Homo-oligomer: A and B are copies of this chain.
Amino acid sequence: MNLKIAVLPGDGIGPEVTLQAKKALHAIGVVYDHEFVFEDALMGAVAIDKTGNPLPEQTLNLCLNTDAVLFGAIGDPKYDNNPSAKVRPEQGLLKLRKELGLFANIRPIKPYNSLLDSSPLKREIIEGADFTIFRELTGGVYFGEKKLNDAGTIASDLCEYSEEEITRITHLAFKAAQNRRKKVTMVDKANVLETSRLWRKVVKKVSENYPDVLLDFLFVDNAAMQIILNPKQFDVILTENLFGDILSDEASVITGSIGLLASASLGNKNALFEPIHGSYPQAKGKNIANPIASILSAAMLLEHFGLHKEAKKVYEAVEKAIEYNVVTIDLKADSKFGTNEVGDFISNVI
């Protein structure tokens, strides 16, 4: 297979971890005789620094015209602590999600057997947990109108959803559930929010097409508790943009490190793959960031193009690294291996 992949390393640890994902894909290409052509482009704080724009036109065009996007991380403290900055790195990522129509962000959560003890949760709570979060990614409060009055004393964000936006991701979630344990848990705040009530109504309607899938509902406050109390109860979690953001970072504790969690963001035409961790600026350039989330994002990319045995090869190589303790310090405090060494080990195993 021939794939053209846009690579947006982004900010902080983005470049170091993305490099490892490229190495892994390259290794897969060699072994299985595929041609992966990478083209790097700017996005995020680095793009602002060089061009003034967090998503330069050129980057967007590249992404629109490649088979897939491999993305690193975004964000820089110099913007976070300046509430009045007009241009911010995150705008680049949000715009990219919107322009590529990446409405479904898929985040699988499953602990590795050999890492069961690295979680802050007890082994018996997490052993056997295996669920996937379907987070709506191009709607909700992320994209609604934002206002600040002239005096700078009143601000607002509009959370908006349409039936159509809810319908399309709901189908994906139910289809995924059909290939899993056939349960969808919709998370909302329908006792307070109008948008949540619309979600409930639409999801119920769509669910009628999937009579083999069980549907239940949880309020988001309860869900935030249940994910820790009893993560095994979940199969597919379906939720809106902001709740999905919060719950998926929270759920990372089940695996012991957010540095292990990958995600796929899918639209009708385009697809982007990214670790769920952020830019982790404190670790930048120190060769300590965990590259596994980025490498697993590359594996999700392979799966997306039907390259299942190739993806499996990557998963197995990652498992081997974990099994042999070739991991970064987030997983083993006294580890001697850095980002690069873990990446090299995994590509060599491939």
Q: A-side interface residues toward B, CB under 8 Å?
A: 75, 79-81, 83-84, 88-90, 94, 120-122, 125, 141-142, 144, 146-148, 152-164, 189-195, 197-198, 200-201, 217, 220-222, 224-225, 228-230, 242-243, 245-250, 252-253, 258, 278
Contact of A154 among B89, B125, B161 (CB under 8 A): B161
Contact of A249 among B89, B158, B225 (CB under 8 A): B225
Residues in chain B near residue A88, CB distance under 8 A: 191
Minimal beta-carbon separation of A282 from chain B (angstroms)? 12
A156 touches B159 (CB 8 A): yes
Minimal beta-carbon separation of A184 from chain B (angstroms)? 15
Whole-angstrom distance between the alpha carbons of A16 and B84 in the complex?
50
Residues in chain B near residue A144, CB distance under 8 A: 156
User: A122-B121, A193-B146 are contacts. A247–B224 as well, Cβ < 8 Å?
Assistant: yes
Whole-angstrom distance between the alpha carbons of A147 and B198 in the complex?
11
The 6 closest A-B pairs by CB, nearest first: A155-B198, A224-B250, A221-B249, A83-B197, A146-B194, A156-B160
User: A121-B120, A224-B224 are contacts. A155–B195 as well, Cβ < 8 Å?
Assistant: yes
Residues in chain B near residue A83, CB distance under 8 A: 190, 197-198, 200-201
Given A80-B191, A157-B194: 4 more A-B contacts, CB < 8 Å: A154-B162, A155-B198, A228-B228, A246-B246
26 intermolecular pairs with C-beta atoms under 8 Å apart: A80-B191, A83-B200, A120-B228, A121-B122, A146-B194, A148-B198, A152-B198, A153-B163, A154-B160, A155-B195, A155-B197, A155-B198, A156-B158, A156-B159, A156-B194, A156-B195, A189-B245, A221-B246, A222-B249, A224-B224, A224-B246, A225-B250, A225-B258, A228-B228, A228-B250, A228-B253
Task: Please name the residue on chain B nearest to A126 by beta carbon.
Answer: B120
Task: Please name the residue on chain B nearest to A125 by beta carbon.
Answer: B120
Whole-angstrom distance between the alpha carbons of A94 and B193 in the complex?
12
Task: Please name the residue on chain B nearest to A258 by beta carbon.
Answer: B225
B75 touches A228 (CB 8 A): no
Copies assembled: 2
Whole-angstrom distance between the alpha carbons of A245 and B245 in the complex?
15
Minimal beta-carbon separation of A131 from chain B (angstroms)? 16
Contact of A158 among B81, B120, B158 (CB under 8 A): B158
Minimal beta-carbon separation of A208 from chain B (angstroms)? 15
B121 touches A228 (CB 8 A): yes
Residues in chain B near residue A247, CB distance under 8 A: 224
B252 touches A225 (CB 8 A): yes
User: A90-B192, A249-B221 are contacts. A120–B229 as well, Cβ < 8 Å?
Assistant: yes
A155 touches B161 (CB 8 A): yes
A75 touches B191 (CB 8 A): yes
Minimal beta-carbon separation of A8 from chain B (angstroms)? 17
B229 touches A253 (CB 8 A): yes
Residues in chain B near residue A121, CB distance under 8 A: 120-122, 228
Task: Please name the residue on chain B nearest to A160 by beta carbon.
Answer: B156
B194 touches A148 (CB 8 A): yes
A245 touches B258 (CB 8 A): no
Minimal beta-carbon separation of A137 from chain B (angstroms)? 12
A249 touches B228 (CB 8 A): no
Residues in chain B near residue A242, CB distance under 8 A: 189
Task: Please name the residue on chain B nearest to A257 by beta carbon.
Answer: B229
Whole-angstrom distance between the alpha carbons of A229 and B220 in the complex?
20
